Structure 1
Amino acid sequence: MDPGAAALNAIANRSKMAGLVMDFDGVLSPIIDDPSASELLPGTEEVLGSLATKLGLVALLSGRPVDFLADRAAVPGVALYGSYGLEQRTDSGVSVLPDAERWMPNVQAATAWLHEKLDGAEGIHVEDKSLAVAVHWRRAADHAAAADAINPLVQEAASLHGLRREPGKFVEELRIPVNQDKGTALHRIMDEGGLEVTAYAGDDLGDLPAFRAVSLARGHALIVDGPDMAPGVETVAGAHFDGPADFHLWLKRLDEATS
């Protein structure tokens, strides 16, 4: 059976009670050297907009801030959850979980500290992420040397400001120390939507909790493979796709199947 056929059939058969939740980077947008330049693949906006009129829920659940998602993927009918589900785009603006708001000064201080230490370092980029801060070194000429330089600084920033360190593909991220991740966020999204079937699409370590959550709910894990996949992601049970372009073709097939 071709990748994603089981998820496609399950969603199409119960479309109005089905949910499709997706990461942004590496799933709907290719991974690129400059994370600030990420954008949807051509045609994705149209297919997401069409699916949003047919399914019970279409949503993005990303480590990116909601404002970034709203700028790059503001598709009518598509719900936006940023900062690993700590933020949600609403009609009145951005809603932040109460437990997260009090940590914003810590994140801002850590972000400023990392900019001071790392701005100007060749191939290294500090990304401001609202309720998190990330340090990327994908563009560094020597990935191992860059990681060796970055890791102690990230650890020091985590200790200074009480934040939680999380690794990714050529990235170290500091998040607020609350019991929230993409798994808890996906549980909340499924419960609030009253969904009977859910599929979640992701590609990185931050997606592992969501893959576990959707599997426990007897849903479907959609893993978008790519170069330099983080250990543990390539072995997740589910439908594997050969990059965002391949996943985009699956979205188009799903759209046709729910017409």
Structure 2
Amino acid sequence: MRFSSVEGEQRYQALVRVASRSVVGLDFDGTLSPIVDDPTRAHIHPDAPEVLVDLAQEVAAIAVITGRPARQALDLGGLEEVGDALDAAGKELYVFGQYGNERWSSRHRRIVGARPPRGLATFERDLPRALRTAGASEAYVEDKGLAVAVHTRRLPDPEGAFDRLLPSLRALADRHGLVLEPGRSVIEVRSAGSHKGMVVERLAADLGAEGFLFAGDDLGDVEAFEALEALGDGGLATLRVCSASDEQSALIALSDVVVHGPAGVLELLGGFAADARAVRR
């Protein structure tokens, strides 16, 4: 764990003092799950369930906030079982899928989602031509129901294909009234209806939080970090945790703490729970 500044360490200590009234928000890919070539095999880090159950004893709630469909995150993370354990402890686990367009909680056990955005079907119709034009016909296209993700990681030149596709898919998304979200060797196109920052703001308000920790790894987490900055200016104790890697560093400059990958995130969360427990005693 590396604090970005003295202020970052001070924010950590302030959050520890209000841990019992704080929310912990976590991205999924690259934060709880290692990045892999096949997104359907991105299983949660094996230590995560135990760490999350332990952490839940010290905080008000835990939320997984991801661009994935909620059902995928639940299945790949074994999060329904984690939710069972949290329920037994009188705490709640939230899963927000597709940037907040889907919601599940361990208390209600039902995924509530929005309808597919207008323009998505016609975007998908035009997508194969855009892929061919960019020389990326073999890119893996993931239909998320409410969004479409184009993965270049499996291609011979992932970065080159990503760079060629980005402007053409941005133009295509604009044409169909959609927004584009670039990530690690993936370009996602979805509606403009929600983003992770909105989820953070809503959770903090709904739960009356006095503190909020969010850990993420990619450009899709920028809005969550920005929301934490605004909440901090309003008096909440906040901590922005970057799960850094050799191929992505977009969040480092915005972070209070930098760790290396999911293992680093879990080590930080375990330490945070221990520090909060020590203060409580």
Cα deviation for residue 92 of structure 1 reads 5.2
- Percent identity among equivalent residues? 31
Cα deviation for residue 64 of structure 1 reads 0.8
Q: Does the 8 Å CA contact 1:123/1:141 hold for their aligned counterparts?
A: no
Rounded to whole Å, the distance in 1 between the matches of 2:171 and 2:60 is 44
Cα deviation for residue 85 of structure 1 reads 1.3
Rounded to whole Å, the distance in 2 between the matches of 1:111 and 1:126 is 10
Alignment of 1:56-205 (within 5 A): 56-73=60-77, 74=79, 75-76=82-83, 77-90=92-105, 91=108, 93-96=110-113, 100-101=114-115, 103=117, 106-111=119-124, 113-114=126-127, 124-147=139-162, 150-151=165-166, 154-155=169-170, 157-159=172-174, 161-178=176-193, 180-205=194-219
Identify the match of residue 209 of structure 1 among 220, 223, 226: 223
RMSD: 2.7
Report the secondary structure of 2:119's partner residue.
helix
Deviations 1:37-77 (A, max 9, x none): 11111120111122223311111111111111121231213
Rounded to whole Å, the distance in 2 between the matches of 1:137 and 1:200 is 27
Cα deviation for residue 128 of structure 1 reads 1.9
* AA matched with 1:106: G
Q: Does the 8 Å CA contact 2:58/2:276 hold for their aligned counterparts?
A: yes
Rounded to whole Å, the distance in 2 between the matches of 1:9 and 1:122 is 50
Alignment of 1:18-37 (within 5 A): 18-37=22-41
Q: Does the 8 Å CA contact 2:15/2:239 hold for their aligned counterparts?
A: no
Deviations 1:188-209 (A, max 9, x none): 1111110001111011111111
Give the equivalent residue in structure 2 for 1:228: 247
Q: Does the 8 Å CA contact 1:7/1:199 hold for their aligned counterparts?
A: no
Cα 1:116–1:215 change in 2 (3 A) is same
Cα deviation for residue 258 of structure 1 reads 3.6
Report the secondary structure of 2:72's partner residue.
helix
Rounded to whole Å, the distance in 2 between the matches of 1:53 and 1:108 is 44
Cα deviation for residue 11 of structure 1 reads 3.7
Cα 1:67–1:109 change in 2 (3 A) is farther
Rounded to whole Å, the distance in 1 between the matches of 2:171 and 2:177 is 10
Cα 1:18–1:92 change in 2 (3 A) is closer
User: Where does the alignment leave 5 or more consecutive residues of structure 1 unmatched?
Assistant: none
Cα deviation for residue 114 of structure 1 reads 3.5
Give the TM-score normalised by structure 1.
0.85
Cα deviation for residue 146 of structure 1 reads 1.7
2:240 is the alignment partner of 1:240:
no
Which deviates more, 11-20 or 205-214?
11-20
Aligned residues: 253
Give the equivalent residue in structure 1 for 2:87: none
Cα 1:58–1:226 change in 2 (3 A) is same
2:73 is the alignment partner of 1:53:
no
* AA matched with 1:93: R
Cα 1:37–1:112 change in 2 (3 A) is farther
User: Where does the alignment leave 5 or more consecutive residues of structure 2 unmatched?
Assistant: 84-91, 233-237
Rounded to whole Å, the distance in 1 between the matches of 2:184 and 2:204 is 28
Rounded to whole Å, the distance in 2 between the matches of 1:148 and 1:238 is 30
Cα 1:6–1:133 change in 2 (3 A) is farther
Rounded to whole Å, the distance in 1 between the matches of 2:154 and 2:206 is 40
Cα 1:208–1:149 change in 2 (3 A) is closer
Give the equivalent residue in structure 1 for 2:235: none
Q: Does the 8 Å CA contact 1:122/1:140 hold for their aligned counterparts?
A: no
Give the TM-score normalised by structure 2.
0.79
Q: Does the 8 Å CA contact 1:49/1:78 hold for their aligned counterparts?
A: no
Deviations 1:210-244 (A, max 9, x none): 111112212111111112215x4232131111222
